[in-house]
Every structure is written in structure tokens, then in C-alpha cells.
Structure 1
Amino acid sequence: MNTSFLKSTALALLAAGLSFSAAASNPANTNNTLYGVNFGTGSSYSTTFLGGVTANFNALVAVGPNNVAAKFSTKAGQGGYQGIGVSPFTGSERTPGEIDIGESIVGSFSSGIRVTSFSLGLLFDGPEYSDVNEVAKISVKFANNSVALFTLEATGVNTAIWSGSNGTVLNLSPASNALGGAWKVSNPFGNALVKSISFGAATGAKGSAGGAGTNQSDYTLISVSAVPEPETYALMLAGLAAIGVVARRKKRA
């Protein structure tokens, strides 16, 4: 086989793979991380990330048995962590700029992705604002079309419980007055590929604050990070293998 053809093919395959892997290796790179603050104030947000995966996010609010279009909204962040919430187009709302009971942010993807982490803010364990333990409700549709429901519950200033069998919870900012109540869940769904993900709110168990509280669950979506389907990395490996063939041929020559 022509050496120049091998070389050009190798470089093309490697470039295709690196366009994904370089972003996936850097958590701060916006090519593999979607930030809520970029969603704007409309009812939907669409972007391309991971080198070619289209992500569509929608703000929704429950009206009777149906979910209808709402709008993204923000409020002042705490502890340096800023996220996005939901507000209805009309009528009153429980907590402006947060995802409250009956509200949700739903993201769908043009191909399956592995969610490496997501981060939520303003999720408190209760005493800070005379409420109860707050619970984020995360519903996921996987690439095999199965659906699962998970929860993240704040149980203390620096502790929270993730209901999934996979996942590690990291406190990014203490759940204290004027601080972020910010949490990162890494590898929440293991290696399972995700087609869509919904962030909603649930009534929390009674916390140490006492009383019924007023907003049993309200929080913000800070970010979602992911990597593409495994086939993407096969391109990079194929490119590296082809370059190795070229190098060996040159050495023999």
C-alpha cells in the first residue's frame, strides 16, 4: 500500500478521534461540558458538543397532567456557583430562577452519550432556609430505551446521597447560608449511554429544621459533562495504529 496514502489516512483518523478525546480529557472544556448559564432566557436551547452531538434542552412546567413550555431563568448564584432554573411564561411561581416542584429541564441528544458528571447548585439540607432536606429528581432514558429515576438528596452541609448504584458525590460548596449548596455527581450512570435526561424536583423528607417548609425541593442546574459513544475512540486508536505502520515501514526502509 502506498506509504503516503497510509500516512494521510492515519492522520485523518487520528484527527477525528482527537477532536473528541482532547475535549473529553479536560473537564473545563466547553466542548464536552454544557453550562446552564449558557441556556439563555428562552424556552429551549440547542447546541453541538462532543465534536458533533446535538443537544437540545427545554424548560417545562406542569399544568395539570401535561408539561408545557416554560422559560429558563436565573437568580444570583451563591458561593461562586451559578446555575439555571425554570420560570413559567405566565402566572406565579414558587421559586424564580430555580427548578422547583412541577418544573423541569429536559435534555435530549442526537446520539447516545456517556454522562461523566453533572453539577447542581442551591440544593440544601434544610436548616439554612427553614426548609426540609431538598431532593433533586433525575429521570434518564438510556440508549436501549429503558427509563430509570434517580435522586440526589442533601443530607448535611457537606453530605448528599445519590440513589444510583454508580456515581460519586462531591461537595463543591458547603450547603450553608450564602454559600452554594453545590454538588457534583461523577459517573452517575456508569458506562450506560444516555439518550435524554430530565432534572426535576421532588418533595423531600422532613429535615432538622422542623415544620413543613415552603419549598421542599428547589435547585439550579450548573452543568452536564459527557463523552461520546465508544466508537469515537476507535477512530483515534485506528489512527494511532496506522501511524505505527507508517513508522515501521520507514524504519525498515
Structure 2
Amino acid sequence: MFIPNLKRVAVVAGLAMAALSAQATVSPANTFDTIYGANFTNLSSTYNTTFLGGTVASFAAKNNGATARFSFKPGQDGFLGVGVSPSHGNGRTPGEIDIGETITGSFSRGVLVKNFSVGLLFNGPEYHDVQEKAIVSVLYADHTTANFSLIATGNTVALWNGSSTQVTNLSPATVNKGGAWSVANPFGNKLVSQVTFGAAMGARVDGKGTNQSDYTLLSITAAVPEPETYAMLLAGLLAIGAAARRKKSS
């Protein structure tokens, strides 16, 4: 029983050392940690970039599940983000993420999402919308999923239903202002493989149908586990091996 267990420890330890080595030898290029929606300037259906020293981030625009394209509208109060429009024709609100529209970001390795920010998310009666709601869905690196929401409930107050999170108003949610919000540590300390931004239905102030809950994606800031994380894993595995040897000796 001892030898197979020790072999498993050695294999996992080897993987941990390889991961640590990979972290240590990453090229210094593309080491920025924030992706800005304003940079999706190709206005196609996808946007790809490399950040965090080698992590590939791939973004896709969808409209009711069909391929769409990224689009922009004039920013407010200095905040400009990216939205969605159909590949052909006009969207419900070109330049924003509207009902049925999504922007999905996928990462080549699990990342810690440290922050995201959105704009043009209002609480009403601005533009006849009431407590606009952003729906954020996440696929974790462990293949589990979760859904969250960010709701503008005041000029400078918004609610996020995640835990251990701070929502900061970057620009008041009033007419001709940005209605911009920053959400810190939205998914806790879990590694994220994919995150999707969508919008929720709601009532309009004027009673003329449902509100758009349309908004723009301003930015996403992420990080990768530090080499120390792998070092701690390796130390733990070595401790397990030492304990197994002591058990065999006794």
C-alpha cells in the first residue's frame, strides 16, 4: 500500500514543480492585468488578447445565441464600454448589452477575477428604466457554475448578490452621467474559466413595455495564482510523503 501511495505523491509533486517552473519562466510580455471594453475596436464577433504574462482571453458577442458583433455608443462622464449588436441589422440598443445579448470571456487557464466594472446601469427614472440589472454567469475552473446579479438601486448604490464583495460607484446613475459601477472580488477566491455578462427583464417607469436593463462592459481585472501557491502545494505533498514514510517505518 505504501509504494503506490508514494508514487502518487511523487507524480503530483512533479506536476506541481512543473507548474511552478512554468510560472517562473513566463515571458514578461503582456503582463497587464486589466482588459478594457473600449479596446474591442475591431467591432467583429470576437476579441482576443493575451494578458497576465501568457493567459489568452477570448471574448464573444451573442444575440439570443446567434453570432453578433461588438458595438459602441458615446460614453457618458468619461466612461466608454463595449456592447452588442446583431451581425446584420440593428440591435435593441446598439452599443450596450441588452435583453438576450451576452458578452462571454473565456480564459486559457483559471484566473482570479479581482474586479469588473460596467457603465450605463441606471436605477430609474433615467431613460424610463427602473433598477436595471446585469446578470453575470460564471464557469469556475472546477467545472461548477454560478449566477449573480448587479442591480442599480440608487444614484450611488447598487447591490451585488455575491459574498465578500464591495460595490463602488464610479459615476452617479443620473441623466448624462455614467451610471458606472465597480465590483471588487465578485467570485471570491475561486479560479474562473469563463464569465458571461447578460441583462435582465424589468418594468419601465412609463409602462411602455419592459426596461432594457442595457449597460456596457467597461473592464475586467484578473490575476493568476502566485508561484508561492504552487510552492505551498508542493510543501504539503512532501509532508504527506514524509508522514507515509514514518508510518511504514513504525
Decide whether aligned partners of structure 1 residues 236 and 172 sit closer, same or farther in structure 2, where only a CA change above 3 A counts: farther
Match of 1:244 in 2: none
Distance 1:74 1:236 in 2: 44
Specify the SS of the correspondent of 2:220: strand
1:21-79 Cα offsets, whole Å, 9 max, x none, are: xx9xxxxx9710000011121110111100011100001110xxxx1211100000001
Q: Does 1:211 align with 2:207?
A: yes
Give, in angstroms, the shift of residue 170 of structure 1.
Answer: 0.2
Give, in angstroms, the shift of residue 91 of structure 1.
Answer: 3.1
Match of 1:242 in 2: none
Match of 1:78 in 2: 76
Runs of 4+ in 1 over 2 A off after TM superposition: 15-20, 209-216, 232-237
Decide whether aligned partners of structure 1 residues 213 and 233 sit closer, same or farther in structure 2, where only a CA change above 3 A counts: farther
Match of 1:223 in 2: 219
Specify the SS of the correspondent of 1:222: strand
Match of 1:53 in 2: 55
Give, in angstroms, the shift of residue 101 of structure 1.
Answer: 0.3
8 Å CA contact 2:31, 2:54 repeated in 1: no
Decide whether aligned partners of structure 1 residues 59 and 124 sit closer, same or farther in structure 2, where only a CA change above 3 A counts: same
1:180-201 Cα offsets, whole Å, 9 max, x none, are: 0000000011101000000001
Which structure 2 residues correspond to residues 106-145 of structure 1 after superposition, within 5 A?
A: 106-145=104-143
Per mean C-alpha deviation after superposition, the further-off stretch among 124-133 and 140-149 is: 124-133
Distance 2:230 2:140 in 1: 24
1:203-242 Cα offsets, whole Å, 9 max, x none, are: 13x47x3525553310000000011124x345899xxxxx
Match of 2:32 in 1: 31
Q: Does 1:150 align with 2:148?
A: yes
8 Å CA contact 1:132, 1:212 repeated in 2: no
- Root mean square deviation of aligned Cα: 2.4
Specify the SS of the correspondent of 1:70: strand
Decide whether aligned partners of structure 1 residues 86 and 225 sit closer, same or farther in structure 2, where only a CA change above 3 A counts: same
Residue identity in the other structure for 2:131? N
Specify the SS of the correspondent of 2:53: coil
Residue identity in the other structure for 2:221? S
8 Å CA contact 1:17, 1:235 repeated in 2: no
Match of 2:240 in 1: none
Match of 2:45 in 1: 43
Match of 1:93 in 2: 91
Q: Does 1:189 align with 2:191?
A: no
Q: Which ranges of structure 1 fall in alignment gaps of 5 or more residues? A: 1-12, 24-28, 238-253
Distance 2:56 2:110 in 1: 10
Residue identity in the other structure for 1:169? V
Decide whether aligned partners of structure 1 residues 160 and 17 sit closer, same or farther in structure 2, where only a CA change above 3 A counts: farther
Residue identity in the other structure for 1:87? S
Distance 1:203 1:226 in 2: 29
1:118-168 Cα offsets, whole Å, 9 max, x none, are: 000000001111122100000000011001000000001000000112311
Per mean C-alpha deviation after superposition, the further-off stretch among 30-39 and 183-192 is: 30-39
Work out the number of aligned pairs and report it. 210
Specify the SS of the correspondent of 2:38: helix
Distance 1:172 1:165 in 2: 20
Q: Which ranges of structure 2 fall in alignment gaps of 5 or more residues? A: 1-20, 233-250
Q: Structure 2 length as normaliser, TM-score?
A: 0.78
